[in-house]
Amino acid sequence: MSEKKFSKKHEWVELNGDVATVGITKHATEMLGDIVFVEVPESGKFIDKDGQAAVVESTKAASDVYSPISGEVTEGNKLIVETPESVNSDPEGVSWFFKIKVKDYSDLDTLMSKAEYDKFVEENAS
């Protein structure tokens, strides 16, 4: 399994063979607050890079989750649909959002490393 890579929209991607797992970052969950509703894409759906893929809703507001890479969805995480609050407790582990079959590996090159992402968050903190 590869190291996690991160997007500026606060998604993480982890590559395993030709399938990438996508979720939202710990930082994203802290900004959202208590998560109460999640909608994940169905398998077979094709999503373009930066296209809207999922919905996450907290007690405060609804937000879109984008796919940092293009490809065909192979699985949406049922666990977080049934227990949305699990996204708050383990966003970068069991509470991933969807798995996607990578179409273009160069999509991954546009993403940040953990250190780069942490720096990005710090610089953009208000």
Which residues of this protein are in contact with other proteins, per CB under 8 A?
33-34, 36-37, 39, 55, 57, 59-60, 62, 81, 84-85
Find the shortest distance in angstroms from Cβ 16 to other proteins. Answer: 29
Find the shortest distance in angstroms from Cβ 24 to other proteins. Answer: 17
Nearer to other proteins, 38 or 112 (CB): 38
Nearer to other proteins, 37 or 105 (CB): 37
Is residue 81 within a helix (H) or strand (E), and if so which, with residue range? helix 78-82
Nearer to other proteins, 31 or 94 (CB): 31
Long-range contacts of 25-34 (CB under 8 A, 24+ apart): 25/91, 25/92, 25/117, 26/91, 26/92, 27/121, 28/91, 29/87, 29/88, 29/91, 32/56, 32/58, 32/60, 32/61, 32/63, 33/58, 33/59, 33/60, 34/58, 34/59, 34/85, 34/88
Find the shortest distance in angstroms from Cβ 61 to other proteins. Answer: 8
Nearer to other proteins, 20 or 35 (CB): 35
